[in-house]
Amino acid sequence: MRAVVIATPGDPEVLRLESVADPVPGDGEVLVDVSTSGVNRADLLQRRGAYPAPPGAPQDIPGLEFAGTVAGVGPGVARWAEGDAVMGIVAGGGYAERVVVHESVAVSVPDSLDLATAGAVPEVFMTAFDAVFLQADLKAGETLLIHAVGSGVGTAAVQLARRAGARTIGTSRTGAKLEEARALGLEAGIVGDESWADRVLDQTDGRGADVILDLVGGPYLAGNQKVLAPRGRHVVVGVPGGARAEVDLRELMARRGRIMGTVLRARPLAEKAELARRFTEDVVPGLAEGSLRPVIDRILPAAQAPEAHRAMERNENFGKILLSWE
Amino acid sequence: MRAVVIATPGDPEVLRLESVADPVPGDGEVLVDVSTSGVNRADLLQRRGAYPAPPGAPQDIPGLEFAGTVAGVGPGVARWAEGDAVMGIVAGGGYAERVVVHESVAVSVPDSLDLATAGAVPEVFMTAFDAVFLQADLKAGETLLIHAVGSGVGTAAVQLARRAGARTIGTSRTGAKLEEARALGLEAGIVGDESWADRVLDQTDGRGADVILDLVGGPYLAGNQKVLAPRGRHVVVGVPGGARAEVDLRELMARRGRIMGTVLRARPLAEKAELARRFTEDVVPGLAEGSLRPVIDRILPAAQAPEAHRAMERNENFGKILLSWE
């Protein structure tokens, strides 16, 4: 099969389309013919050598998600059969024509969702759903603050929160991304300059946000502490702005607040299976009926993986960039 | 009635025994003749003017807990009658011969527990129970790390964790306090010098602590991040060492860890009532049968409140200091 391989750690040009051996499904695993592979910010880190894949995942093929068609099953697989449309997250190896996943972590692609489009779903919708609902327990009537709301996870979170009856406030460094997020249901958009925290307080009559979905990290920590509502949950899913910052534990106590770190990639299989189950139950129906929709910036042929990475590094995409294998 | 009043913010000598008006129980409230009032570190802050009582609580009478006998009830009280032995937390006004509390936050003192002794129970056992179990969800087989294990909350946490089948590791700046904590069931005691974090890792085969009960704050934050186990919960209940420190959000993500701030004092009545209910159900039986016991350093007459504060400021007590009204 063909796969996008990291020839050596470095700039986007180190990504090469190469011929590699097909993966073979083991016990309980399915082989998937990939339609599209989503590109994620973590892939850029991995390409530069800064975010190695966990043990057991392919080390030199990046890619954390896929959508495609089941092409074969290993021993003991009961849930899926050849031809089924599936999507899911993987710990690595997603930039390939074929992937192997455990049957329990694959999620059915509803008929009403185009298979190529589905490649934009798993990482961002699972990350947002898990962080905002399963970890931070956002409830109807609460306010969700989403940093980097124009990102894939951000646009998924806006839709999931709106569907759950929560209020959304988003920040972005780019006014145009805020406009696009408004079209998805974002209620208040704030440009992420030095006064963003004051404006979040203005928007909430001084109360702040019940849940903060943080895709920025260190530089926003002081502001996040300031705008965290009583009993608020600040969930950190990415730190592209930097990881270290001063925290004020007394502020955290006074608000009875929580700062929660989360990642999907390193979870054990049983937890990934549980997430896939909850996701199938709670989120897939919204994708099927169209109340939730993946936001796609562009679909590029897999051979253009370097261009896909460059576009993400320039921060120019609104929504997902996909690599196509068709 | 007599009460210990803060004449003006300052040193322990500003605490004066004075005659003040008796409190009057309103709807749903009970009047309690206090046997003993517990002394807490927060009282020292309040005495210095650094921790004002929340609105509605007496501003100039410190004291967050009591044990005593119901002396009267307000309209609508169904749960208690004159003569009942009760204990509980208050948002202020505890250093007094009489206190008024809502009937829903009073907790029954079991017959087998001496009433004077019971004054040492509410703040530390409720704080430890709430933080370690209701907030941080410590489970049997997990490891609890307790900083300042010789404190009232620390000694309560050791006993509660042992009773729940969890393993305990404690730090203290004083070796003698570690010895005393061992007598209560502490499994591993570590002197809180610059190498404490390495020794916690040694004690746990490198895995770290599932729950950290933090009564120190900023100076231990880097160490706490280092010793937090995967999916660990770090719950901050006091920051006498300072509130500010650098946090590494990437470390928190990698561990899928949580830093949780908590306080009892500022909670709304309904939450305090819920805590009293859970406490009555889960903890009071242990106090009744003797598997949990309050640790008392000394009981002083209320007139010696300045000496009680001095002793706590010198950090010389192991367990609670109580003021007696008898």
Determine the number of helices (DSSP H) and then strands (DSSP E) in chain A: 11, 16
Question: Are A243 and B236 in contact (CB < 8 Å)?
Answer: no
Give the per-residue pLDDT at B318: 83
Q: What percent of chain B has pLDDT over 70?
A: 100
pLDDT in tens, B266-288: 889 999 999 999 999 999 999 99
Q: What ranges in chain B are assigned the alpha helix state H? A: 41-47, 115-118, 122-129, 152-163, 175-183, 196-203, 221-227, 249-255, 269-282, 284-289, 305-313
Interface test with A, best of B247, B255, B274 (most A CBs within 10 A): B247
Rounded to the nearest angstrom, the minimum Cα separation between A221 and chain B is 9
Closest CB to B243 among A250, A255, A262 = A250
Cβ–Cβ of B246/A246 closer than 8 Å? yes
Q: What integer pLDDT is reported at residue B326 of this predicted model? A: 83
Q: Does A134 touch chain B (CB under 8 A)?
A: no
Task: Tokens 């009961």: give the residue.
Answer: A78
DSSP letters, A264-305, are: STT--HHHHHHHHHHHHHHTHHHHHHTSS---EEEEEEGGGH
Interface of A with B in 198-227 (CB under 8 A): 217-218, 221
How far is the C-alpha of A265 from the C-alpha of B80, rounded, in Å? 54
* pLDDT above 90 for B57: no
Is the separation of the CB atoms in B67 and B119 below 8 Å? Answer: yes
Q: Is B131 exposed, middle or buried (0-12, 13-18, 19+ CB in 10 A)?
A: buried
Q: Is A307 left (phi over 0), alpha (psi -120 to 50) or beta?
A: alpha
Partner A contacted by B240 (CB < 8 A)? no
How many beta carbons lie within 10 A of that of residue A74, not counting itself?
Answer: 16
Neighbours of A19 (CB within 10 A): 9
CATH fold label, A124-261:
Rossmann fold (3.40.50)
Name residue A113's amino acid: L
Q: Is A306 helix (H, G, I), strand (E, B) or coil?
A: helix
User: Is pLDDT at A16 greater than 90 in this prediction?
Assistant: yes
Is a pLDDT exceeding 90 seen at residue B194?
no
DSSP assignment letter at B96: B
pLDDT given for residue A326 in this prediction: 83
Instruction: Tell me, yes or no, if B239 comes closer than 8 A to chain A by beta carbon.
Output: yes
Show Cβ contacts of residue B56 under 8 Å, excluding neighbours closer than 6 positions: B91
What values do phi and psi take at B235, rounded to 5?
Answer: -110, 125
Sheet of strand B228-236: strand arrangement: A188-191, A167-172, A143-147, A209-214, A228-236, A258-261, B258-261, B228-236, B209-214, B143-147, B167-172, B188-191
DSSP conformational letter for B91: S
> Does pLDDT of B49 surpass 90?
yes
CB contact under 8 A, B261 and A248: no
**Average of per-residue pLDDT values in chain B:** 95
Contact (CB, 8 A) for A56 and A35: no
Name the pLDDT band for B174 (thresholds 50, 70, 90).
confident
Tell me how far apart the alpha carbons of residues A278 and A23 are, in angstroms, rounded to a whole number: 28
Smallest Cα–Cα separation from A300: which of A326, A263, A273? A326
Neighbours of B272 (CB within 10 A): 21
Pairing mode of beta strands B15-19, B2-6:
antiparallel
For residues A300 and A133, the answer to whether their CB atoms sit within 8 Å is no
Q: What is the pLDDT of residue B51?
A: 87
Specify which residues A17 forms β-bridges with: A4
Least Cα distance to B271 among B85, B104, B52 occurs for B104
What percent of chain B is modeled with pLDDT above 90? 88
Residue A315's pLDDT band, with cuts at 50, 70 and 90, is confident
pLDDT confidence of residue A194: 86
Nearest to A20 by CA among A60, A69, A49: A60
Q: Phi-psi bin for A143: left (phi > 0), alpha (psi -120 to 50), beta?
A: beta
pLDDT digits (tens, 9 = 90+) for A57-78: 888 999 999 999 999 999 999 9
Q: What are phi and psi of A177, to 5 degrees?
A: -70, -35
Mutate: best of A225, A253, A260, partner B, most B CBs <10 A: A253
| B151 to A232, B83, B124, B171, B233: CA distances (angstroms) | 28, 32, 9, 10, 20
Q: Is the Cβ of B241 closer than 8 Å to some Cβ of chain A? A: no
Of residues B243, B255, B263, nearest to A248 (C-beta):
B243
Fold of the B2-121+265-324 domain = Quinone Oxidoreductase; Chain A, domain 1 (3.90.180)
- The upper half-sphere exposure of residue A51, i.e. CA atoms within 13 Å in the direction of its Cβ, equals 22
Q: What is the pLDDT of residues B287-303, one digit of tens each?
A: 999 999 999 999 999 99
**Whole-angstrom distance, CA of residue B285 vs CA of residue B279:** 9
Q: Where are the domains of chain B?
A: 2-121+265-324, 124-261
Q: Do A252 and B237 make contact, defined as CB atoms within 8 angstroms?
A: no
What mean pLDDT do residues A277-291 have? 97
Which residue on chain B is closest to A236 by alpha carbon? B253
Separation CA B153–CA B89 (nearest Å): 14
Number of inter-chain CB pairs under 8 A, A vs B: 102
In this predicted structure, the answer to whether residue A204 has a pLDDT above a threshold of 90 is yes
Q: Same CATH fold, A124-261 and A2-121+265-324?
A: no
Nearest CA in chain B to A217: B249
Element (H, E) at B15: strand B15-19
Contact B259/A248, CB-based, under 8 Å? no
Q: Does B183 touch chain A (CB under 8 A)?
A: no
Q: Kindly state whether B229 is in contact with chain A, defined as any CB-CB distance less than 8 angstroms.
A: no
Q: How confident is the model at residue B56 (pLDDT cuts 50, 70, 90)?
A: confident
What is the pLDDT, as a whole number, of residue A54? 86
- Strands A320-324 and B143-147 come out as unpaired
Question: Residue A48 has what pLDDT?
Answer: 96
Of residues A117, A121, A119, the one with CA closest to residue A129: A121
The sign one gets for the Cα dihedral A25, A29, A34, A36 is negative
Write the single-letter amino acid at A294.
P
CB contact, 8 Å: B259 with chain A? yes
A78 to A27, A30, A47: CA distances (angstroms): 11, 10, 36
**Token couple for A295:** 């936001």
Reduce the DSSP state of residue A256 to 3 states and report it.
Answer: coil
Measured from the Cβ of residue B132, the count of other Cβ atoms closer than 10 Å reads 26
Beta carbons of B261 and A262 less than 8 Å apart: no
CB contact under 8 A, B243 and A262: no
Is the pLDDT assigned to residue B247 strictly greater than 90?
yes
Task: Give this complex's ipTM.
Answer: 0.91
Backbone angles phi, psi at B63, to 5 degrees: 115, 125
- Banded pLDDT at A192 (limits 50, 70, 90): confident
Q: Determine contact: B116 vs chain A, CB below 8 A.
A: no
Which chain A residues are Cβ-neighbours of B255 within 8 angstroms? 261
